[in-house]
Amino acid sequence: MPPGTSEVKHYHNKSRQFFYILSGEAIMETNEGKFILTKNEGIEIPPMIPHKIINHAEEALHFIVVSNPKSHGDRVLIEE
């Protein structure tokens, strides 16, 4: 994920996701707050929880996302 970019805030009706940071620093924003994640850290996002990942750093962010069931077609955007 390039420096200074973010996803659009969204949630998934069925998909549970796990984000694992390979390099860089991320901010995961949910309704419960903002969580800073660095290399070798992860966060689980249950279904129906609005979230977005942000790369506020000056370096690229590399991460893995595992979704179960698959998240394609299960994304609901939230207007901010």
The CATH number covering residue 43 comes to: 2.60.120.10
Give residue 39's domain range: 5-77
What is the pLDDT averaged over residues 66-71? 96
Q: In the Cβ-directed half-sphere of 39, how many Cα atoms lie within 13 Å?
A: 4
Question: H or E element: which one contains 59?
Answer: none
Confidence (pTM): 0.93
Does residue 79 register a pLDDT over 90? no
Q: How many domains does the chain have?
A: 1
- Give dist(CA 32, CA 79) in Å, integer: 17
Q: pLDDT category, 22, cuts 50, 70, 90?
A: very high
